[in-house]
Chains A and B, each alone.
Chain A
């Protein structure tokens, strides 16, 4: 089934990021009811939630998300969900939870008569969310940088497991046996052992990020790495942006992975939005016009001033982007000295009219007169 995604999204990908690579055009696809994994990442940035306290609360949003997850589970018996939070105390899994086996189920957070699969998920998420709040309350917020990148990384490692391994496998030993049998059968079939992992995909996956955070100051490189990994795995990243403004990196994440990005201005009706705009199964994506905005700002931001720029200078060693030529003639990130000839060429002000003759293509190395 990987072909299916690739083919359908081809034009979008190619243009959206201009470096998608399309290898093969598939046959007319058959759409099947593959099970799918939904990973929800809830950003618990206190400042972000504080800013939108008049419009919605974590509680309201969590309610909607739980309904959303239950809906996802009810679509297909083998559908899976995962729930992560990115909070000042770190990013972590709420569901599935490695501790949940030992816990007794005699709590009363949800109705006991509920369908068992829903109940397990809902209980764990709510319980763990409470624990998470306590942890956040004890964390100092002095030097907090968003942990969304961590949550995305975790979501991707988990997705990787779900995509490559049988879902019943829960120990590393079992996984080792299963992978090596797969490798053995692969090498016998095609000898494509090294890249053979891709043909094991039976599950589809998507990630939903819910973030109220208006802050654009994130760990840029890890986020981008996660986006590229998601792109490679054909995992869409959907984004529900609460709060007051668009955030460029989340827009990029959605755009690059063929996900949905919506800035939800009125979070009161969140469940409505979730169950319509965000309820597009990965297998349906090639067929549906996504309710998203393709006009995404891919402009770079300056490493020194942090401003968004459209014309800048790039250090050829570390690829650090600068809006100005550093005064010292040194890269601020990697400290390597720049070529003085090139610097003087770049620093030169535009040629004025009387000297028009010399404007075109000055010989390399001639300093400005």
Chain B
């Protein structure tokens, strides 16, 4: 059982962080943490959580005078926050694997009961994962996700590969509510079986294995333990993963483990060595410093991975996908007149999921209100399905809504970054173009604090405030200034 235990960095969380120093990727993260840690108030979300002092809520409340003094810090934090947020949105357009299938492997071993994350690692992981799922499907509507848990020397299937966020969230909730008996973290983790399981799950692209080169296959491991007890040779599994072009990303919860580094490096080999593309979306193996960092790392995985140049089969070309944009099926209009009308039940073509576990689950029928749509009709074979996106179970056509595609466009065409306007004696703009907030007057105090507070779009030359800048780049993905110009 324990033939392949990897105990490279068996560190407790109170040992010195020097363990990580040989790693380049972590070096970058760490230095940033150190820097902000030294600048006073930012330490709360910048450094290692175990280096932090006790948090006393009454320390945060400040006097009036002190608030005036800390204005410098306040503004500095604002600017840093903005930069951090903007950095997350790379502005160079990459070809990205928009259609993703992601398997999340969560650690359910005994180490997940550690309380360095509150209430414990496992609960925190599930909570963050729930947020992640919401964000993931928001940003990647034509993608799918599956969850595997490794617990007590066995890898368990938590949720099958599916495109419905609610399904996964329900499964996770189940995991949380039943924590007392079946799913409480226990025993040892095993990477090999879980990876093999993920590999098997990734074989299927939206229920069929017809063309497996269209989607980007990814595995994300949330790994709390410092070892793995595998039944066989994990290196063979790694080779298989490479063969199947599966990319593994790992987030460690305690310390770096050599085998994880190997898995991450090898499976992402093509992309990380040959292009610099991956540097923008973070490294493939990182260890969390604290809760905020955990969340950040997890949310980094939401953005679709860029496709590396070497991966493109230069001789073949990119696939063209036939897709159907189905019609809605509406219930017969009944509210308008009081005459008796027949509500004939309509069978959904996608529901009996060929003998899988799901077919044993109770299906609620007709719980939705009568005004809503009851299904979608495949434009090719007229069979009805109840949710999108999916593959038509009858004719194999991929069915999506145009809005699903539209949600992904901003990944492909990122908005240009706004440039900070250099401090000057006179500014053309007096108000933020987006929200009409008043900018500070020109000519404030000299020194390092002197800033224009204006951020200018390089295309339309409108000035925006910091909040609008972040909002526009994070949520809206449109420049209001550029869109407001007629013509073009």
CB closest residue in chain A, given B130: A23
Q: Which chain B residues border A176 with CB–CB below 8 Å?
A: 74-75, 78, 453, 466
Interchain CB contact under 8 A, A337 and B75? no
Interchain CB contact under 8 A, B438 and A171? yes
Interchain CB contact under 8 A, B440 and A310? no
Query: Given that A225-B477, A229-B475 are known contacts, is A220 also in contact with B317, CB under 8 Å in the complex?
Result: no
Q: Among the listed B437, B478, B485, which residue makes an inter-chain contact with A172, where contact means beta carbons less than 8 Å apart?
A: B437
Q: Which chain B residues border A151 with CB–CB below 8 Å?
A: 484
Q: Which chain B residues border A181 with CB–CB below 8 Å?
A: 67, 74
State the total of A-B contacts with C-beta under 8 angstroms: 306
Among B180-188, B221-229, B234-242, B408-416, the stretch in contact with A: B408-416
Q: Tell me if B424 counts as interface (CB < 8 A to partner A).
A: no
Interface of chain A residues 124 through 155 with chain B (CB within 8 A): 139, 142-145, 147, 149-151, 153-154
Q: Which chain B residues border A185 with CB–CB below 8 Å?
A: 60
Provide the A302-328 mask, 1 if CB < 8 A to any CB of B, else 0. 000000011111111111010001000
Q: Which chain A residues border B81 with CB–CB below 8 Å?
A: 183
B287 to chain A, nearest CB (A): 19
Interchain CB contact under 8 A, B292 and A191? yes
Q: Tell me if A79 counts as interface (CB < 8 A to partner B).
A: no
Interface of chain A residues 324 through 339 with chain B (CB within 8 A): 325, 329, 331, 336-339
Interchain CB contact under 8 A, A11 and B369? yes
Interchain CB contact under 8 A, B325 and A222? no
Interchain CB contact under 8 A, B436 and A93? yes
Among A28-36, A201-209, A292-300, the stretch in contact with B: A292-300
Number of residues in B with C-beta < 8 Å to the partner?
Answer: 105
Q: Tell me if B95 counts as interface (CB < 8 A to partner A).
A: yes
Interchain CB contact under 8 A, A19 and B404? yes
B167 to chain A, nearest CB (A): 11
Interchain CB contact under 8 A, A319 and B75? no
Q: Which chain B residues border A170 with CB–CB below 8 Å?
A: 437-438
Q: Which chain B residues border A189 with CB–CB below 8 Å?
A: 57
CB closest residue in chain B, given A360: B396
Q: Tell me if B439 counts as interface (CB < 8 A to partner A).
A: yes
Interchain CB contact under 8 A, B60 and A184? yes
Interchain CB contact under 8 A, A317 and B408? no
A272 to chain B, nearest CB (A): 21
Q: Is the interface of B mostly helix, strand, loop or mixed?
A: mixed
Q: Tell me if B359 counts as interface (CB < 8 A to partner A).
A: no
Interchain CB contact under 8 A, B484 and A154? yes
Interchain CB contact under 8 A, A160 and B323? no
Q: Tell me if A76 counts as interface (CB < 8 A to partner B).
A: no
CB closest residue in chain A, given B410: A225
Bound state CA distance, A309 and B405, in angstroms?
14
Bound state CA distance, A68 and B63, in angstroms?
45
Interface size range of chain A in the complex: 35 or more
Query: Given that A298-B401, A314-B321, A364-B210 are known contacts, is A21 also in contact with B134, CB under 8 Å in the complex?
Result: yes
Interchain CB contact under 8 A, A315 and B320? yes
Interchain CB contact under 8 A, B401 and A11? no
B381 to chain A, nearest CB (A): 11
Bound state CA distance, A207 and B443, in angstroms?
38
Q: Which chain A residues border B326 with CB–CB below 8 Å?
A: 310
Q: Among the listed A89, A165, A233, A342, which residue makes an inter-chain contact with B319, where contact means beta carbons less than 8 Å apart?
A: A342
Q: Which chain A residues border B322 with CB–CB below 8 Å?
A: 311-314, 346
Q: Among the listed B41, B141, B299, which residue makes an inter-chain contact with A184, where contact means beta carbons less than 8 Å apart?
A: B41
Provide the A209-245 mask, 1 if CB < 8 A to any CB of B, else 0. 0000000000111101111110011000000000000
Bound state CA distance, A246 and B435, in angstroms?
31
Q: Among the listed B41, B166, B318, which residue makes an inter-chain contact with A338, where contact means beta carbons less than 8 Å apart?
A: B318
Q: Tell me if A7 counts as interface (CB < 8 A to partner B).
A: no
The residues of B with any CB-CB pair to A shorter than 8 Å are 41, 44-45, 55, 57, 60, 67, 71, 74-75, 77-78, 81, 95, 98-99, 130-131, 133-134, 137-138, 141, 165-166, 169, 210-211, 214, 291-292, 295-296, 299, 316-328, 330, 368-369, 371-373, 376, 379-380, 387-389, 397, 401-410, 412-413, 430-440, 453, 464-468, 471-472, 475-488
The 7 closest A-B pairs by CB, nearest first: A150-B484, A157-B434, A150-B483, A300-B402, A161-B435, A153-B480, A224-B406
23 residue pairs of the A-B complex, CB under 8 angstroms, read A14-B372, A18-B388, A19-B165, A89-B486, A147-B484, A151-B484, A171-B437, A173-B440, A173-B453, A181-B74, A183-B77, A183-B81, A227-B403, A298-B328, A311-B325, A311-B397, A313-B323, A315-B321, A316-B98, A319-B98, A319-B408, A331-B318, A338-B320
The residues of A with any CB-CB pair to B shorter than 8 Å are 11-12, 14-19, 21-23, 87-93, 96, 98, 139, 142-145, 147, 149-151, 153-154, 156-158, 160-161, 164-165, 169-173, 175-177, 179-181, 183-185, 187-189, 191, 193-195, 219-222, 224-229, 232-233, 252, 256, 289, 294-296, 298-301, 309-319, 321, 325, 329, 331, 336-343, 346, 361, 364
